[in-house]
Amino acid sequence: MKKFLIIQTAFIGDVILATPLLEALHAQYPEARIDMLVRKGNQTLFQGHPFLKTVFVWDKQSGKYKNLILLLVAIRRQKYDLVINCQRFAASGFLTAFSGASSTSGFRKNPFSFFFKHKINHTVSNGLHECARNLKLIEHLNVKGAIQPRLYPSPLKFETPKNYSCIAPASVWFTKQWPKNKWIELINLISSEQTIYLTGGPGDHQLCEEILENITHPQVINLAGSLSLLESAELMRSATMNYVNDSAPMHLCSSVNAPVTAIFCSTVPSFGFGPLSENSRIIETKEELSCRPCGLHGFKTCPKGHFQCAESIKPENVFSN
């Protein structure tokens, strides 16, 4: 029996974009053992996953390096046929290089890539999607698979109306987040007969409350912090439309092929992190800004101080009838 380990200990969206590796490996090796290593908190993405055996969790906040060594011991014990590293940072490279696996694969930018058997270039300027870049890590296996990410959420525990939209207004990065006043304007454009769910993590609850306090729409419910990641994905699956930033909720939509309108502020789709749902729209400024994109991930504040990449996007251009 083949044994594979996939390492991706970055943010939620990055983990979702690694799931095509799970799909492709399982399709070619249906009897194989496939394990995953993620950072603490992201393991909830894989609850009830039908063919993932073990999810290793790295707690980066408490005893970071002690936990790293404990993980290495656990990984070496499994004697993997192949360890696949989707990250380009030293800690994951260390685990890969000294995993004891028969073979290793990772990106050339990783500081430990010298020890990897298979080294792949990671380029964000050629328009290739991150899912496709990740699949190149197993190209040597001649594995064929689609680039669509996939999660396996369970049915919701509450009933939803037939016609509703979801809005996820927050992002980890400020310059990836469309301003609050713009979300308020957008919500007021949506039919008052349609229910709107505001979604996000516990840290997004206050932003959603502030939006809720300043709208005229009569049917808006703040669910931020009330749903798990998989519950959020399931809610998005049946929505009429999901309005999101270039952030994790966009990738949740891709994972269940949910309709999505994705707003790109400081970043650009050509980086390779855009939506993959069949019904997807990308909204970005129509202005030619020499400062955009200002970075791959975004910043806590606009480097130029004007945030024109977001401020110039009009709510009426975002709204989808």
Do residues 113 and 185 share a domain? no
d(CA 307, CA 313) in angstroms, rounded, equals 11
Do residues 106 and 185 share a domain? no
Yes or no: say if 82 and 62 are a contact pair by the CB < 8 Å rule.
no
Residue type, 57: V
| Domain presence at residue 159 | no
Do residues 188 and 313 share a domain? yes
Which pair of tokens denotes residue 147?
């680039």
pLDDT single digits (tens) 27-69: 999 999 999 999 999 999 999 999 999 999 999 888 889 999 9
Nearest to 209 by CA among 219, 222, 190: 222
Do residues 180 and 77 share a domain? no
- Range 287-313 average pLDDT: 94
| Domains identified in the chain, total number | 2
| Domain presence at residue 146 | no
d(CA 79, CA 4) in angstroms, rounded, equals 9
Nearest to 90 by CA among 66, 74, 69, 109: 109
| Domain presence at residue 147 | no
Yes or no: say if 156 and 283 are a contact pair by the CB < 8 Å rule.
no
| Domain presence at residue 155 | no
Do residues 241 and 192 share a domain? yes
Residue 321 banded pLDDT, cuts 50, 70, 90: low
Do residues 134 and 7 share a domain? yes
Do residues 181 and 133 share a domain? no
- Range 8-23 average pLDDT: 96
Which domain covers residue 239, as residue numbers? 164-318
Residue 209 banded pLDDT, cuts 50, 70, 90: very high
DSSP class of 17: T
d(CA 21, CA 131) in angstroms, rounded, equals 8
- Range 198-220 average pLDDT: 97
pLDDT single digits (tens) 220-235: 999 999 999 999 999 9
CB environment 197-219: b (16+ within 10 A), e (fewer): bbbbbeebbebbeebbeebebee
Which pair of tokens denotes residue 134?
């990740």
| Domain presence at residue 154 | no
| Domain presence at residue 239 | yes
- Cis peptide bond upstream of 30, omega within 30: no
Helix axes 90-97, 64-78, angle to 10 degrees: 30
Q: What is the pLDDT of residue 32?
A: 97
Q: What is the pLDDT of residue 298?
A: 85
pLDDT single digits (tens) 157-176: 999 999 999 999 999 999 99
Last residue of a domain, one of 109, 141, 173: 141
Unique residue bearing structure tokens 């707003």: 263
Residues in the chain: 321
Do residues 168 and 313 share a domain? yes
Do residues 126 and 169 share a domain? no
Q: Which residues contact 86 (CB under 8 A, 6 or more apart)?
A: 6, 7, 8, 10, 14, 18, 21, 92, 106, 107, 134, 137
Q: What is the pLDDT of residue 320?
A: 72
Do residues 189 and 262 share a domain? yes
- Range 210-216 average pLDDT: 97
| Domain presence at residue 188 | yes
Q: Which residues contact 233 (CB under 8 A, 6 or more apart)?
A: 151, 153, 252, 253, 255, 256, 258
Q: Measured in whole angstroms, how far is the alpha carbon of residue 31 from the centre of its chain? A: 27
Yes or no: say if 25 and 32 are a contact pair by the CB < 8 Å rule.
yes
Which pair of tokens denotes residue 267?
């970043």
Unique residue bearing structure tokens 């490279």: 93
Last residue of a domain, one of 126, 141, 156: 141
Say how many CA atoms lie within 13 Å of 62 toward its Cβ: 3
Q: What is the pLDDT of residue 203?
A: 95
Q: Which residues contact 38 (CB under 8 A, 6 or more apart)?
A: 8, 9, 15, 45, 46, 55, 56, 57, 58
CATH number for the domain that contains residue 24: 3.40.50.2000
pLDDT single digits (tens) 90-125: 999 999 999 999 999 999 999 999 999 999 999 987
Do residues 126 and 178 share a domain? no
| Domain presence at residue 173 | yes
Do residues 12 and 126 share a domain? yes
Q: Measured in whole angstroms, how far is the alpha carbon of residue 136 from the centre of its chain? A: 19
* % the chain with pLDDT above 70: 100
